[in-house]
Structure 1
Amino acid sequence: MDMRSAFLRVALSVTTALSVGFSPVVLAAGTHRTGTPHADRHPRHTLPVPQKHHASGPYVSRDAETVAVVARHPPRGAVETVSQKMLAEAPAGTNPMKVMAQLPGITFQSGDGQGLDTWSTQVFMHGFQQQEIGMTLDGMPLGEMTYRNYNGLNPIMAISSENVARIDVSQSAGAESMAASNNLGGGLSYVSMTPSDKMGGTVAAGFGSYSTYHTFLRFESGKLNSSGTKFFTSYMRNDSGMWKGYGEQFMQQVNAKLVQPIGHDSSISAFFDWSDLHQNTYPDISPQIISRVGYGLSSYENGRNSGYIAAVNAANGIYPGKVGTLDDPTDAAYYDGSTNTVDTFGGIKADLRLAERLTWNTTAYGHGERNQTSWATPYFPSPTGSPVSELMKEPEIRRFGIVSALHYDIARNHIGAGVWYENNSYMSPMNAYAQPAVVNGVVQGKVHDPLTQWRDPFAQIFNQNYNTNTFTAFVQDTYNVLPNLALHFGFKSLLSTTNVGDGYLNQEYYGAGAAVTSGESLTVAKPFLPHISADWHFLQDHELYFDISENARTYAESGYKLSNSPFAVSQTAYDDTKSSIRPETAWTYAIGYRYTGKLLAATVYAYRTNYNNRLQQITEGPVVNPISAVSNVGGVTMNGVDAGLTLTPFRGFALTNSVSYNHGVYDQNLVSGATVYATKGQQVVNYPRFMYKGRVSYEWRGMTAYADGSYTGTRNYSYTGDVRSPGYWLTNVGIQYSFGNMKRYSRSLGAIKNLTVAFNGSNLTNKRYVSTMGQNGNPADIASGALTDQSMQIGAPRMFFGSVRADF
């Protein structure tokens, strides 16, 4: 089969611009053998694809290698692909999720321009937040994407953006084969780049507003011997100043990947990641802070003793400027907030062809993380006499697991079955560290730098240990009824048990009589979570599909009052709610139509989700030690539709528009104690009902240019909807030029195979807007503190970026 035929055969499996949903296309036999060197060697029972030019756009990669690897994945519902080409058009070092947010139905929020601030990062897909979206890298589970992750790591800390080959985005209830226990709202499957057959490398440097610098180096070994052994190793460094206040956000990372082919149809590969992240964090704000003080309120830290003295004065009731006009001026700003995280992650994978139609894929992986996240508090004085101390959460993760699956092709059936097991040990201590006293306006000693290692705490505040064993199994079959009609059926079984060890809670901080949940365990057992779908290609350019699936989420884990974990409450609160706590589950029904023509591409994707037993953290009261409960808020019903249109009137030009509508509302009123909150019929918090996204792009020879604009609608901040964040527009532009092989310009530059320069601008209108919401939980209504509750982040202002990249 020649390259043109192979390309056209999989063309419809690539999402056109703004198409939402990739139905289970019947793939060539063996194409599900991810990583196998010759996976397309024996094609049979493939869907016919029209032999004609297809529309291009921001979601269609023209790179033949990128398109080819898309077809190596089994059918798994509504899937779109974000290619390396799309990632490369963003500013250097940008979080791939920020690029992914160009897709309909997805929002990405962050307080910084590159999307790397882990405290403020927030992702939603069709009403589901990031903790309810499964994530993997080369099949290895990344766990829940949360700040202070308890069972995994943020994808940016697992792989550098330049090493991501693609992201497969499943916006239905997620594939049954995914190694995840939280993919209620879909899944993100990161795939790392394969080492090159030829020796070479990449050197890239980026720069931008607010002292942003990015460096990336990658060495490719090429084939080292006749068996085809090859590897790459890379180093990434990203350093950026804060756009408001004082501080920096620094990250460095090492990746390596080794591939050892075995014969023509099998291989063994290994992936390694080490990341080191040190970030000052932007302070949380409230609606009242925005209205009375403004968007620019920052921490007191300014790199000098005067910043610490201002924080001490605030703790003593002396507030600067307009801060004193707030109802809660003490909590308006603290001295500092920081994140220090080191991860080591990796695994070994075997892709083995046991027979002509039988393959076996197995991955063993491990992960360790050490974390220090801090903030200065005016409520727990230091033994030095200072009213300010540093509270430090110091969680650690130790987990290991194995993912294994068999795939067998017989007649018109493509059958798969597999298992995933993981043991995760999570420790969540919290300690207090001393800061120096201030006497007569003079600091008595050295103020501790929050981005360095902290040692010798003067008090233990909290500690709790968790141990979780998770097991899943799946069976699936895709049946080719006709060459252009495929039916898919599969199911997953889930069993997970979390044991909570004896905990410690400092009553001097939390109050007398408080007792943490200890010696408890919860089990989630779901033996049958089905997934059914069908895909029909009819006429020449038309496709119709549907997808139905159920999924479940295991219980979260975290420190006291930090999340919607049923363990993150007092023993009394746990005893009161444990009889009503049930695992969250979701049924999603989706149907879609797609037209792919030469001059235009159009798509409509409609879905309904019944989300049951939704667990929410309800906060009430002051920032320090608020009343926090985890409640079953009942069901959520979401009905939504995405529609997109891409026009390609001439070669290289694409004009894309999409709209997304999500009517996601609570089915019942929220009851907390004796209080009933009128949440029934209210839009779910933090996610807009309406979104619009538009993009115009043009490619000519080595140049690529784009401009995009997006509108994010009103979002509920409180559960009752009496406090909302207004909608906003954002506009971005970018242009890059690839010079190609530099030998054409000078023989002395012949070693440079390609040189690319790029320039990007974000938030061109310098819009001030609320980005992330609910990072500290959401208030119930105004009466319970919605105007003063500090659980918002401000989006980054206008920023510009440039980069130079050379490939050797």
Structure 2
Amino acid sequence: MVDRTFFVYLVSSTALAFSFPLLSPVAKAGETPLTNQQDPAKTAATHQKAHVPVHAARPHPTSKARTIAQVEDVNVQGRRQANWVVTPVTAATIANYVPGTNALKALTTLPGVMYNSGDPQGLNLWGQSFLMHGFDQSQIGMTLDGMPLGDQQWSNSNGLNPSAAISSENITRMDVSASAGSEGAASISNLGGTVQFVSRDPSHKTGATVNQTFGSNAMFHTFVRADSGDLNKQGTRFWVSYMRNDTDKWRGGQNQFMQQVNAKLLHPVGQKSRITAFFNYADEQMQNYQDYNMDMFRNGGYHIDNLLGTPNGYETAYRLALAQNGRPGGAVPAAYQKLQSPYTASFYDGAGSQRQYFGGVSADLALTDRLRWNSTFYGHRSWEVGTVTSPLIESTNGAPFVEQATIPTTRRFGLTSSLTYTIARNEINGGVWYENTHFNADKRAYDEPLLEDVLSGAARPVDGLHLTSDYRREYEQVFNTNTFVAYLQDTYRPIDNVALHFGFRSVLNTTRVGQLANWEPYTRTTAIAGGAGLTTSKPFLPHISGQWSFLPGHQVYFDIANNVKVLPVSGYNSGASPFATTQAAFDASRNSITSETDWNYAIGYRYHSRILDGNVYAYHTDFSNRLQKISSGSPNNPYTVISNVGAVAMNGVDAGLVLRPVQGLQIGSSISYDHATYSDNVTQTTTNGIVTYGIKGKQVVAYPRFMYKGQISYRWKKAEVHADTQFIGQRNLSYTGDEKVPSYWLTNAGVRYDLTSLIGNISGTSAFKRISLDFNVYNITNQHYISTMGQNGFPMAGDYQSVVLGAPRQYFGSVQVDF
């Protein structure tokens, strides 16, 4: 049930949004309301000549993506604004992927970006990860229409994944800022840049879009969106959409289900101002893919998974747990005999579910011709459940395992507000952001039934997606966090082709934690972190950048920034957080633990012409106080240490080229090199005494030193074909680099055909604005590879069950109709 506080917020904000059409004056004759997808913040500074590539406004003559948003070729050229490095990735790029695919996957077209997932669409959040220039998703700031999405851990204490915040079909673009990020972004984790999602505006014309997709593993995806069109002379309008995605797992049993509702209201105020409201509801219920280790990858084949939904699955899991605990009746499946750790290769189930309510109201107002005020009030309520059948603890009835459930819940409210003033050759912008977050981390153990009761039909195993039985609470912690950020920036243009940017941000973040429950048989300690708090305070984080446009199509730029990631919040043993440990370890580290910080330096050159785009981007990062989750033991209840692995020195370069030799043909290619190494060895106290691990000079975990990407597309009349490939180099699983994940190639292809004219000629009617067919093949070469890494942490040395397999070859077909 939605709690009363959030319900009051939801009703009041919605009523406020819908009252604006009644309270606001009608636009005067001759005034032009803001057009669809127009950014009023940019219209305020039209006298400034921002650098926008010529190809950015050139629509494709035939493409399904044109119905989603203004088409923009997105490639290694991109666009970089004067005050920070920004590359927009639009709906045109998202449309080349299977409908419903996590929008983060579309960013893999950019050099230096890597997205991994266990399922081809990237909707299963446990098995996905996003990395950019050596930084993982918890170190990259993400926002949606200016509202913060948090630090992107699975148990996200202060946000939600982009796929749970908005359907990918409703995204008009993603503004990607690598290395430095923007001081104006509402994020306290943007060490390695920002990804700012922008939702599509409602259309001025009444219409609807229906997309139906079918695919491998009984995949069934439905998306429906209706646009109201203009409701009055002012141009008030809205859209509402529903998405449903249901698919069987490509290995193991059971399925993965998600449904989502989005809505957006836009009300113009005069000619240059507007009020918007956005709402999101997401419901996800998925059986996760089992985590692998490298021993399983090499010796266990490509189809080991949890046992729910397989023949005799409960009995096999039950006897495997008996064998692990040395009890009579135990048995290890023959396929697992060669494995070093056969007992954790499969569990009975491992599920994940979540329910998200997220939205806000924004006002973007032109107070004068030179002064704009932009404010957003937002709220978020989240319930998540992650379960696994753990053989480490017996049920009270004697069954050799329990159903463990991690249940994080979040309630947060916040406000962002900024003023932008344009005078002479300066654009001055300053703002504040405040957020309060209440986060509860709860872990429970549910008794599983005896085998004989299940076989006789007298009992049923615990359903990890619908927990209703009695339980024991293993631990519970409650967190309250207050965040305040202020920033000031100025973009100065001394001459038309030169821009200089100066800015800084101040960050103050305080979290208090309380221990509500601690069951020692599980936590193995008399007390977990509680009864105190930690504060991150950084009053001055500078950002300086500049760009110079010289000769036709040529530009050079630089970007320098100092950033911080505040101390993250996670429940016991569940993340790289100082709160995720014992009370003794927490007390010992309170006065010495330091937030992660970095200095980013970037310089680049780009060239654009009608047939050729080129880009070279070099960066250096000095990363200090890197906190890592170092794990050992069972992934169900590991021994976890949150360790400062010291400094990281990172040097990298991206280089890309896009050719358009003939009309309709585009060929892109890019390479990325990232030399990111630890600067210090790590010393730890273990059961074998004090051990020093030689990680100095080793490449950071999970991120490759080398990547290559290529894309090709060709349009001819009503048809389009496209293909992309990427090479991901070898990656370290352990900090010492003695265990590595092998490199791989991944290639996808698709074809699209516009049937609008053909259907119109046959039927003699123009009832449809557009009809198109798509066919896509994922992993066309059927590559077996490791995708996500580190979901359970990384070991200092050796192997660990903390990687996810990538999906094999998959086929998808879809039809889209626009009314």
| TM-score, normalised by the number of residues in structure 1 | 0.91
Judging changes above 3 Å, is the alpha-carbon distance between structure 1 residues 242 and 662 closer, same or farther for their aligned structure 2 residues? same
Look up the match of 2:448: 435
Question: Do the aligned partners of 1:638 and 1:662 also contact (CA within 8 Å) in 2?
Answer: yes
Q: Name the aligned partner's letter for residue 483 of structure 1.
A: D
Please state how far the C-alpha of 1:509 moved relative to its aligned partner: 2.1
Change in CA separation of 1:186 and 1:615 when aligned onto 2, cut-off 3 Å:
same
Q: Contact 2:59/2:71 (CA < 8 Å) preserved in 1?
A: no
Question: Cα RMSD (Å) of the superposition?
Answer: 2.6
Once residues 184 and 315 of structure 1 are traced to their aligned partners in structure 2, the CA distance between those partners, rounded to angstroms, is 42
User: Does structure 1 residue 770 correspond to structure 2 residue 786?
Assistant: yes
- Map of 1:802 onto structure 2: 813
Identify which range, 763-772 or 576-585, moves more after superposition.
Answer: 576-585
The CA deviation string for residues 101-122 of structure 1, in whole angstroms up to 9 with x for no partner, is 1110000100011111100110
Q: Give the structure 1 partner of residue 376 of structure 2.
A: 363
Q: Tell me which of 118, 125, 128 is aligned to 1:118.
A: 125
Tell me how far apart the structure 2 counterparts of residues 57 and 617 of structure 1 sit (CA, whole Å): 46
1:201 Cα deviation from its structure 2 partner: 0.7
* Match for residue 316 of structure 2 among 310, 313, 326: 310
Does the alignment pair 1:560 with 2:560?
no
The one-letter code matched in structure 2 to 1:342 is R
Which one is further off, 334-343 or 590-599? 590-599
Matched ranges for 1:494-513 at <5 A: 494-511=507-524, 513=525
Compared CA separation, residues 42 and 466, structure 1 to 2 (3 A): closer
Corresponding position of 2:355 = 342
The one-character-per-residue Cα deviations of 1:596-635 (angstroms, maximum 9, x if unpaired) are: 1222111110000011100011112333433211011110
Q: Which of 212, 215, 218 is the equivalent residue of 2:219?
A: 212
The structural deviation recorded for 1:502 is 2.5
Matches within 5 A, 1:715-730: 715-730=731-746
Question: 2:24 aligns to what?
Answer: none
Report whether the alignment pairs 1:399 with 2:412: yes
Structure 1 counterpart of 2:321, one-letter code: A
Q: Which residue of structure 2 lines up, in the alignment, with residue 387 of structure 1?
A: 400
Residue 67 of structure 1 and its aligned partner are, at CA, apart by: 5.4
Report if aligned partners of 1:577, 1:631 keep a CA contact under 8 Å in 2.
no
How far does residue 749 in structure 1 lie from its aligned partner after superposition? 4.0
For residue 44 of structure 1, report the CA deviation from its aligned partner. Answer: 1.2
Matched, 1:543 2:555: yes
Mapped pair 1:156 → 2:163: yes
Counterpart contact for 1:465–1:501, Cα < 8 Å: yes
Tell me, which stretches of 5 or more residues in structure 2 are unaligned?
1-33, 324-330
> Is 1:471 the equivalent of 2:484?
yes
- Give the superposition deviation at 1:562: 1.1
1:192 aligns with 199
Change in Cα spacing, 1:719 to 1:361, as seen in structure 2 (3 Å) is same
Pairing of 1:119-138 with structure 2 (within 5 A): 119-138=126-145
The 3 A distance-change label for structure 1 pair 71 and 131 is closer
Deviates more, 1:87-96 or 1:357-366: 87-96
Q: What is the Cα deviation at residue 807 of structure 1?
A: 0.6
The Cα of 1:677 is off from its aligned counterpart by: 0.3
Return the TM-score normalized by structure 2: 0.90
Query: 1:368-409 CA distances to partner (integer Å, 9 max, x unpaired)?
Result: 011111000112222233112100111110000001110010
Asked if 1:642 is matched to 2:648, the reply is: no
Alignment CA distance shift 1:336-1:257 (3 Å) = same
CA distance in 1, matches of 2:55, 2:402: 67
- In the alignment, which residue of structure 2 is the partner of 1:4? none
**Structure-2 residue corresponding to 1:65:** 70
| Cα deviations by residue, 1:749-787 (Å, 9 ceiling, x for unpaired) | 4121011110010111111111111110000012xxx2x
Distance 1:282 1:52 in 2: 41
Aligned length: 770
Q: CA separation in 2, counterparts of 1:180 and 1:697?
A: 36
- Hey, what's the Cα distance between the residues in 2 that align with 1:519 and 1:368? 25
**Counterpart-to-counterpart distance in 2, 1:421 and 1:631:** 29
Secondary structure at the residue paired with 1:179?
A: coil
**Alpha carbons of 1:408 and 1:552: their partners in 2 closer, same or farther (altered >3 Å)?**
same
Residues 743, 300 of structure 1: CA spacing in aligned structure 2 closer, same or farther, 3 A cutoff?
A: closer
Report the residue type matching 2:342 in the other structure: P
CA deviation map 1:565-598 (0-9, x unaligned) = 0010111222333343100011110000011122
Deviation at 1:289, TM superposition (A): 1.5
How far off its partner does 1:448 sit? 3.9
- Going from structure 1 to structure 2, the CA distance change for 1:752 and 1:396 (only over 3 Å counts) comes to same
Equivalence map 1:9-48=2 (5 Å): 40=43, 43-46=46-49
Distance 1:328 1:415, change over 3 A: same
CA positional deviation for 1:220: 0.3
Paired position in structure 2 for 1:24 = none
1:477 to 1:441, Cα distance in 2 relative to 1, 3 A? closer
State the 1:52 CA deviation. 9.6
* 1:238 corresponds to: 245
**Aligned counterpart in structure 1 of residue 637 of structure 2, from 600, 611, 625:** 625
Give 1:493's match in structure 2, choosing from 487, 500, 506: 506
- Distance of 2:355 and 2:701 partners within structure 1: 32
Q: Using the TM superposition, name which of 75-84 and 553-562 deviates more.
A: 75-84
CA contact (8 A) 2:80 2:87 kept: no
Distance 1:184 1:34, change over 3 A: farther
What's the secondary structure of 2:367's corresponding residue? strand
Q: CA deviation at 1:361?
A: 0.4
Report the CA distance between 1:645 and its aligned residue. Answer: 1.1
Contact 1:465/1:500 (CA < 8 Å) preserved in 2?
yes
> How many Å apart are 1:47 and its aligned residue?
5.0
Instruction: Give 1:779's aligned amino acid.
Output: P
Q: Which secondary structure does the structure 1 equivalent of 2:298 belong to?
A: helix
Which amino acid in the other structure matches residue 792 of structure 1?
Answer: V
Find the aligned partners of 2:576 and 2:263 in 1 and give their Cα distance.
36
| CA deviation profile, 1:669-720 (whole Å, cap 9, x unmatched) | 0121221100000000000000000111112222221111110000000000
The structure-2 alpha-carbon separation of the partners of 1:803 and 1:764, relative to structure 1 and needing over 3 Å to count, comes to: same
